[in-house]
Amino acid sequence: MDPVTRVNRMQKLRSSAASYGAFFYSGEIPLSQNIASTPFYQLFSGYHNPVFNLTFTRLPSILHRFSARGLAPPSHYRPLFFLQFPRFSVFFNFECTDRGCPKDDLLSGITVALALVPEAVAFAFVAGVEPLVGLYAAFMVGLITAVFGGRPGMISGATGALAVVMVSLVAQHGVQYLFATVVLMGLIQILVGVLRLGKFIRMVPHPVMLGFVNGLAIVIFLAQLQSFKTTDAAGQSQWLQGNQLYIMLALVIITMVIIKYLPKLTKAIPSSLAAIIVVSLIVVGLNLDSRSVGDLASIAGGLPQFSIPAVPFTWETLTIIFPYAVILAAIGLIESLLTLSLIDEITETRGRGNKECVAQGAANTATGFFGGMGGCAMIGQSMININSGGRGRLSGISAALFLLAFILFASGLIELIPLAALTGVMFMVVIGTFEWSSLRIMGKIPRSDAFVLVLVSAVTVATDLAIAVVVGVIVSALVFAWEHAKHINVKSYEGKLGGKVYELHGPLFFASVNNFQNLFDPKNDPDDVVVEFQNSQVMDHSAIEAIDTLAERYMNAGKRLHLRHLSAECRQLLRKAGNLVEVNVIEDPKYHVADNQLG
């Protein structure tokens, strides 16, 4: 090949890299030739694309079958070069990086998929729909959020928090209305992400986060107790007794012991996956009388089929599904974003909340058209994934694909897995999720924070996550306002020209106006009184009303009141005291007041 043709081919390959993200090239490089001496290596080794950040690495010989756009090498030549586009590197680069390890991601994905089966089936029963509706939701929501979401390593699927809201809708209007609601729910979540409202999850106070984590751990624990119950001939739920109970407890304990101590011996395989396999072999090999996944329901099925929800497209339909869609969207985003924050803390990385909102919305919209019940982030499965070594997007993608494979090809094997093994896995998730340190610090933190922590945990268990978080944020905000209301105080002294000066310190807002009024004594003050606001700030309309009220009190007492260092907006809003403000263009502060009149 002449030099001109060679350079043209190299330029063509460069262009392909920018277009396709990653490609393999097998050039005319004999086995005996030194790699570093080839024009290809010299040309690309110094090449850097500032836009796509292309990098040049060696390609293992096992990938010999790949080539660039049909440029297959002769049999006596070897493939040595790989141009990697970092955005898609997780799909092509099988080396461990700070973004994750493909081997760990794949093994963790299998573990998560196994644990997803009984969870999805159980939540489908809670919502009053067929098991495949929950399984399809776990597959589609999990796959789409894993590919496009803002938090690699987070697992999404059908959840109990959403199922308890759906049950009344399904009971009253049928499953087709549920699918329409899930589509609308997804559109609302996409809108939240587009408007970049996901960032406000960072405002959730830490005590609320602790309460959320502890409450969810308790909810997960209580949900696993259903595995220790059975249904009699009359349809009544009763606790297991006798040998069934002893076998169940023994298998759960074996599972938990394997998960706890296997990582100390080897980390070649996730301990949760190893525990499920070992306990399954024990049950099958010894023919033990233990309930399995198949006792819940059959998970066999085909691919999800696209269909538009069979509901009338009328205003009446919208009035039915819209309230449910708003509640489901709020619950889903709150649980997803709080789980994202928790994984951020564990992995010491930062997820993208707004991107996750859009991904969750897209996943739910698609799921509604494919017969799924919708979903959101699952803290229990996410913790299984993280604890099993899953960090990259490949873990969530593989979990979803393995789940689909179970539905299509391996339902018979998966239905043999004992519920005891999966219960043991979830018990270990509970132990790892619960913030045990919160019990130790309970006496060391402020009583208000301890109260919020316990309150959020209790409300999470009693109602649902969304209500618990909203209650926690409101209580925390009220506590914050109460504490800052105490910070307002005044320093009084005699002015240079006579009269009395009140030098105010601290913010003046709705929670501090009562204390503000009690700082003054119009009846006993001299005829001239100055209120100095240089070290204070007027925050809202309640503060404006308080200043007007103070001015009226002094005028009724026949005293002259002077107000100094108020902003221009304060002067504009004051109705009774506006003419009492002394203007100093140079020294007067410039800040805004939260008032509807200026909106």
Q: Are both 139 and 55 inside the same structural domain?
A: no
Considering the entire predicted model, what is its pTM?
0.65
Q: Are both 106 and 81 inside the same structural domain?
A: no
pLDDT of residue 451: 93
pLDDT of residue 193: 92
511: β partners: none
Exposure string for 149-188, b = 16+ CB within 10 A, e = fewer:
bbbbbbbbbbbbbbbebbeebbeebebebbbbbbbbbbbb
pLDDT of residue 23: 37
Distance CA 562, CA 556 (A): 15
Helix 393-408 with 102-127: angle, nearest 10 deg: 60
Distance CA 182, CA 160 (A): 15
Q: Are both 302 and 371 inside the same structural domain?
A: yes
Residue 439 lies in a domain: no
Residue 97 lies in a domain: no
Residue 70 lies in a domain: yes
Q: Are both 219 and 344 inside the same structural domain?
A: yes
pLDDT of residue 99: 62
pLDDT of residue 90: 40
Q: Are both 64 and 190 inside the same structural domain?
A: no
Q: Are both 53 and 191 inside the same structural domain?
A: no
Distance CA 489, CA 266 (A): 63
Q: What domain count does the chain have?
A: 4
Residue 528 lies in a domain: yes
Q: Are both 225 and 254 inside the same structural domain?
A: yes
Distance CA 220, CA 378 (A): 11
CATH number of the domain within which 532 lies: 3.30.750.24
pLDDT of residue 144: 96
Spatial neighbors of 501 by CB under 8 A, at least 6 apart, are: 492, 493, 494, 495, 529, 530, 532
Distance CA 498, CA 577 (A): 21
Q: What range defines the domain where residue 411 resides?
A: 102-230+238-434
Residue 442 lies in a domain: no
Q: Final residue of a domain: which of 92, 121, 137?
A: 92
Q: Are both 322 and 428 inside the same structural domain?
A: yes
State which residues of the chain have pLDDT below 50: 13-93
Residue 440 lies in a domain: no
Q: Are both 296 and 335 inside the same structural domain?
A: yes
Could you report the per-residue pLDDT of 359-414, keeping only the tens digit for each? 999 999 999 999 999 999 988 889 888 888 888 899 999 999 999 999 999 888 88
Q: Are both 414 and 519 inside the same structural domain?
A: no
Residue 63 lies in a domain: yes
pLDDT of residue 183: 96
Query: How many CB atoms sit inside 10 A of residue 2's CB?
Result: 7
Distance CA 424, CA 259 (A): 9
Q: Final residue of a domain: which of 29, 58, 92?
A: 92
Phi-psi region of 151 (alpha: psi -120 to 50; beta: other; left: phi over 0): beta
Q: Which amino acid does the sequence have at 571?
A: R
Q: Are both 65 and 142 inside the same structural domain?
A: no
Q: Are both 250 and 380 inside the same structural domain?
A: yes
491: helix, coil or strand?
strand
Secondary structure (H, E, C), 271-338: HHHHHHHHHHHHHHHHCCCCCEHHHCCCCCCCCCCCCCCCCCCCHHHHHHHHHHHHHHHHHHHHHHHH
Nearest to 336 by CA among 317, 319, 355: 355
pLDDT of residue 403: 93
Q: CB–CB of 397/363 below 8 Å?
A: no
pLDDT of residue 186: 96
pLDDT of residue 423: 87
Q: Final residue of a domain: which of 63, 92, 121?
A: 92
Q: What is the DSSP string of 502-554?
A: EEEEEEESTTTHHHHHHT--TTTS-SEEEEEEEEEEE-BHHHHHHHHHHHHHH
pLDDT of residue 397: 94
The shares of helix, strand and coil residues in the chain, as percent rounded to the nearest 5, are 60, 10, 30
Residue 441 lies in a domain: no
Nearest to 292 by CA among 301, 282, 302: 282
